[in-house]
Amino acid sequence: MPKPNLHLITNYRRTKDAFQKGNVFCALDTETTGLSTQTSRLIELSAIKFTKDCILESFSTLINPCCPIPEKITDITGIKDADVKNAPIAEKVIPEFKKFCQDTILVAHNAQFDLRFINMESEKLGLEPLTNFAVDTLRLSRILLPENGTWKQAKLAEQFKIRVEHAHRAQDDTRVCMELFKKLIELPLPIKKKRKPKND
């Protein structure tokens, strides 16, 4: 089965215009048992709905992956098997999340990773993939801060003095992503350097 297309907005001006007009955005983050959508599962999903004026609503839950969490993932996230033992399974979480983010523009750092995992879980449940437009703050930061050299969310948070409390936990990463997006959307587009004409 072919992978569903991800509706990523790559036009910065279009993104800024949508934000300034008061569209509802939904920052999100996931934690997973690994990097591959073929062999890994979601273990946490968080999201915050917001506009240019305020935060509207939040969503956050651990997810029982119905498989052991690798030790290296526990080392990174702090999430243990015992933490997800009584958590809802994806079959319950994914429909609730899709209802929560309906009619919003999604925002995530390295958005393709998070969206592909959510769509993978949707596919397993026989549900349609997400159809929302989405903004990738990783791509956006590369466009707006080309001289940075690194565009990791933690480094960008430090650069913009955004508080980080629990890195690699979905709820805090989601808040940081939302605040980072708001900072980025205030920046002007960098001026492109004119190419020197080639000598004949």
Residues annotated as catalytic (active site), given as ranges: 168
- Percentages (nearest 5) of helix, strand, coil residues in the chain: 40, 20, 45
* Contact criterion met (CB below 8 Å) for 118 and 132: no
Q: Which residues pair with 136 in a beta bridge?
A: 108
Phi, psi for 91 (deg, rounded to 5) = -55, -30
Phi, psi for 12 (deg, rounded to 5) = -60, -45
Give the ranges where 101-185 is alpha helix by DSSP (H): 111-124, 137-144, 153-159, 170-184
**Which of 46, 33, 29, 107 has its CA nearest to residue 76?**
33
- The SS3 assignment for 178 reads helix
Measured CA angle at 92 (ends 87, 96), to 5 deg: 110
* Contact criterion met (CB below 8 Å) for 84 and 107: no
